[in-house]
């Protein structure tokens, strides 16, 4: 059921309940108040009659015994229910039963009663209010009755008026609540229509934000923020696909050209060997690129870790040993600064992958005769690995995007740098970021004072929560 129908129905039902309960309470209080006033009148009449009895009886007062006054009638009875005296107009039937007479001798009694009047009392049964109380004479009580017509008529008129007003209120509540609900939901319906018309590549406009500073205003602001993030993610993914296609196209084009050359007749053995070497190099490039893309795709979908305690110093030594051959070819030294037995917690294979990528980048961009410094630190809360080279450092405008996919500094954008070192695919630091994200840690790129670049990895020693990754770039020199 639509909200614009459900809310008016609920509002109308709630109004009906409130009117019913309120009307019942009002009528009850009205009847109680009128009844109390009538009891006060009867008690006053009974006190007057008791005073006359105490002064010697009704005959000495010069008036008829228990003469009716202002529509009230009275009877004097014994506690056994025997009528001693009665007002003219009352039948000879006792107003009180023996039980009521005995009870009223102990305490005043006020009850509703149907009383039959004789011809002098206009005859017929009548709904009356009776008040009975003991007199000054032992074993004698007096009962005074009067008509309840005033109470019943007032209650009936009030009930009728409440029914009319309640019906009017319900007639107004239903359509009124429907109109209010429709007006309140109109911005929501407008946003729904706009959201249905949005295209996946729509980057501007978003949803119309109402001018009211209410919940719908905040909902529109939140949805526009969500749409902005989705559009940014879509642009990012499209750029990623385009960059990946570009990266794959180049080695495939080279492979296709070399194979076409190899098929030409008259090629010498040396030329064929050179073609195979080029093809093998481009195949290695494709394999590395495919593996990097698989790593990033796996981490974005299910970043599962096989975490356990491990010796971080031993891990750094193993990574340095693996990079030593490429470092020796470049005449680059790798120096380790680490305490003995630095215990960390995490997935050692993924941490090793991140350190390997940092060492590869550092060796690639270090000049001949330079030294790459690797530092390992651990404390009670965090583990940290820093890799510092003595190259040209990061360009200031590259540091904020250093960990994005397919981003390379200017000197590394080509397949071969000016020094003859093969350029990377721009995924190494992206993988480093992915490793730190899954470990709940941070990766920081910065330039050191003087020259060179430094990348610092830092993650919790305990079990990570996976939500506290902080990936930033620092332009300090």
Each residue's pLDDT tens digit, 266-307? 778 787 888 888 788 778 767 766 776 666 666 555 556 788
Q: What's residue 22's pLDDT?
A: 92
DSSP 439: T
| Confidence class for position 412, pLDDT limits 50, 70, 90 | very low
* pLDDT tens figures, 147-166: 888 888 999 999 999 999 98
Instruction: Name every residue whose Cβ is closer than 8 Å to that of residue 234 and which is 6 or more positions away in sequence.
Output: 200, 201
Question: In this model, does residue 124 exceed pLDDT 90?
Answer: no
Chain centre to alpha carbon of residue 172: 34
In this prediction, residues 17-36 reach a mean pLDDT of 92
Q: Which residue has the higher pLDDT, 398 or 386?
A: 386
Query: What residues have CB less than 8 Å from 152, skipping those under 6 apart?
Result: 127
Comparing 350-359, 370-379, 427-436, 439-448, the range with the smallest average pLDDT is 427-436
Give me the pLDDT at residue 56, please: 58
Rounded mean pLDDT, 248-252: 70
pLDDT at residue number 477: 35
| Mean residue pLDDT across the chain | 79
395 or 321: which leads in pLDDT:
321
**CA atoms of 396 and 453, how far apart (whole Å):** 11
* Residues 369-396, mean pLDDT to the nearest whole number: 88
| CA angle in degrees (0–180, nearest 5) for 78-82-83 | 95
Per-residue pLDDT, 282: 74
Q: Lowest-confidence range among 66-70, 168-172, 258-262, 275-279? A: 66-70
> H-helix or E-strand containing 430?
helix 428-438
Residues of the chain with pLDDT > 70: what percent?
A: 80
Average pLDDT over residues 13-37: 92
pLDDT value of position 455: 92
The CATH fold assigned to 1-197 is Beta-Lactamase (3.30.450)
* pLDDT of residue 229 exceeding 50: yes
**Going by CATH, does the domain composed of 307-473 fall within 3.30.565.10?**
yes
Identify the H or E element spanning 343.
strand 343-346
Q: What is the 3-state secondary structure (H, E, C) of 88-99?
A: CCECCCCCCCHH
Q: For the chain, give the percent of residues with pLDDT over 90.
A: 15
Q: How far apart are CA 223 and CA 185, in angstroms?
A: 16
Q: Who contacts 103 (Cβ-Cβ below 8 Å, separation ≥6)?
A: 109
Residue 473: what pLDDT?
47
Average pLDDT score over residue span 359-368: 88
pLDDT category of residue 420 using cuts at 50, 70 and 90: very low
CA-to-CA separations, 397 to 393, 400, 409, in angstroms, rounded: 12, 7, 9
Write the pLDDT tens digit of every residue in 432-455.
888 888 888 999 988 887 678 899
Average pLDDT over residues 383-411: 77
User: What's the confidence (pLDDT) of residue 469?
Assistant: 41
Q: What's the pTM?
A: 0.48
Sign of the dihedral defined by the CA atoms of residues 248, 300, 396, 356, in that order: negative
């Amino acid at each position: 059921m639509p909200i614009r129908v459900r809310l008016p129905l609920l509002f109308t039902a709630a109004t009906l309940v409130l009117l019913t309960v309120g009307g019942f309470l009002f009528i009850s209080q009205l009847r109680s108040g009128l009844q109390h006033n009538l009891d006060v009148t009867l008690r006053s009449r009974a006190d007057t009659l008791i005073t006359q009895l105490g002064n010697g009886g009704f005959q000495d007062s010069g008036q008829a015994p228990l003469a009716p006054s202002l529509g009230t009638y009275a009877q004097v009875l014994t506690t056994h229910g025997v009528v001693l005296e009665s007002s003219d107009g009352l039948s000879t039937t006792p107003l009180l039963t023996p039980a009521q007479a005995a009870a009223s001798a102990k305490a005043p009694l006020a009850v509703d009663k149907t009383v039959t009047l004789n011809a002098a009392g206009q005859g017929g049964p009548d709904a009356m209010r009776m008040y009975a109380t003991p007199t000054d004479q032992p074993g004698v009580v007096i009962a005074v009755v009067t008509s309840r017509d005033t109470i019943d008529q007032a209650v009936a008129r009030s009930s009728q008026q409440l029914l009319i007003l309640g019906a009017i209120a319900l007639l107004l509540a239903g359509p009124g609540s429907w109109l209010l609900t429709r007006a309140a939901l109109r911005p929501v319906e407008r946003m729904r229509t706009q959201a249905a018309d949005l295209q996946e590549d729509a980057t501007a406009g978003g949803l119309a934000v109402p001018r009211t500073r209410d919940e719908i205003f905040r909902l529109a602001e939140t949805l526009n923020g969500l749409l902005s993030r989705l559009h940014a993610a879509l642009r990012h993914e499209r750029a990623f696909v385009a960059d990946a296609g570009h990266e794959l196209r180049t080695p495939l084009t080279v492979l296709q050209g070399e194979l076409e050359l190899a098929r030409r007749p008259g090629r010498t053995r040396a030329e064929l060997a050179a073609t195979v070497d080029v093809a093998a190099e481009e195949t290695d490039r494709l394999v590395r690129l495919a593996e990097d893309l698989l790593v990033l795709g796996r981490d974005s979908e299910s970043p599962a870790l096989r975490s356990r305690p491990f010796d971080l110093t031993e891990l750094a030594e193993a990574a340095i040993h693996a990079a030593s051959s490429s470092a020796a070819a470049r005449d680059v030294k790798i120096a380790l600064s680490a305490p003995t037995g630095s215990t960390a917690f995490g997935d050692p294979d993924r941490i090793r992958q991140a350190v390997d990528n940092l060492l590869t980048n550092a060796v690639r961009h270090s000049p001949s005769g330079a030294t790459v410094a690797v530092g390992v630190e651990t404390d009670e809360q965090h583990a940290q690995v820093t890799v510092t080279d003595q190259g040209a450092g990061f360009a200031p405008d590259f540091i904020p995007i250093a960990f994005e996919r397919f981003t390379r500094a200017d000197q590394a954008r080509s397949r071969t740098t000016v020094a003859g070192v093969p350029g990377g695919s721009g995924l190494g630091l992206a993988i480093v970021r992915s490793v730190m994200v899954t470990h709940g840690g941070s990766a920081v790129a910065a330039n050191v004072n003087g020259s060179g670049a430094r990348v610092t990895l830092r993650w919790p020693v305990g079990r990570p929560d996976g939500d506290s990754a902080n990936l930033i770039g620092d332009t300090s020199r």
